[in-house]
Amino acid sequence: MPDSGKGENRDTCRAALERLEDLADLRIAEQRLGAYRDGKEDTLPLEEVMRRHGMEACYVRAA
């Protein structure tokens, strides 16, 4: 049975969608970095981020 190209089209669409999502993430990261550099935002210690997401048991502080 000949390939209808549906699988290839699906893969191409999936790759394009992932690329768009990556570009959106990059845009957000660049905006946040700019705000940090301008003194409009601050950073959080990793320990605080882990706590906020209920992952404090996974956090191992370096000695």
**Higher-scoring residue by pLDDT: 58, 19:** 19
- pLDDT value, residue 58: 84
- pLDDT value, residue 62: 67
- Tens digits of residue pLDDT in 3-57: 666 789 999 999 999 999 999 999 999 999 999 999 999 999 998 999 999 998 8
Which two three-digit tokens encode residue 54? 């209920």
Residues 12 and 3: their CA atoms lie apart, in Å, by 15
- pLDDT value, residue 29: 97
- Give the residue ranges of DSSP H helices in 1-63: 6-37, 46-52
